[in-house]
């Protein structure tokens, strides 16, 4: 295999860095804003409002062990980060 060397001009190098930085920021900034503004825990109704998943469906996933939760008496709480992971794990990428 042959090694190729790329030696850009300063302006080309700056352009590459600027494009890559913009790409990363477009992805990271909205994610960081969401994380900063979100509640650390969601109630059953918060979860339903966020996802549209009804209380019986939530219970099904809790009982199946798919959805981690905290229970204090009758009150159910979900860690927001766990809910995001639960949803991400079920994401279907179209071809």
For residue 1, is pLDDT > 80? no
**Helical packing angle, 55-63 and 44-51, nearest 10°:** 110
pLDDT in tens, 23-34: 888 988 888 888
pLDDT confidence of residue 3:
85
Q: How confident is the model at residue 93 (pLDDT cuts 50, 70, 90)?
A: confident
Cβ count near 76 (within 10 Å): 19
39-95 has CATH 1.20.1070 classification: no
Q: How confident is the model at residue 59 (pLDDT cuts 50, 70, 90)?
A: very high
User: Domain segments of the chain: what residues?
Assistant: 9-38, 39-95
């Amino acid at each position: 295999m042959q090694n190729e060397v790329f030696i850009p001009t300063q302006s080309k190098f700056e352009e590459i860095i600027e494009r890559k930085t913009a790409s990363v920021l477009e992805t990271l900034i909205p994610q960081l804003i969401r994380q900063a503004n979100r509640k650390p825990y969601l109630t059953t109704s918060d979860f339903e409002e966020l996802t549209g998943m009804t209380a019986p469906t939530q219970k099904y996933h809790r009982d199946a062990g798919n959805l981690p939760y905290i229970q204090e008496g009758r009150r159910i709480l979900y860690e927001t980060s766990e809910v995001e992971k639960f949803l991400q794990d079920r994401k279907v990428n179209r071809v």
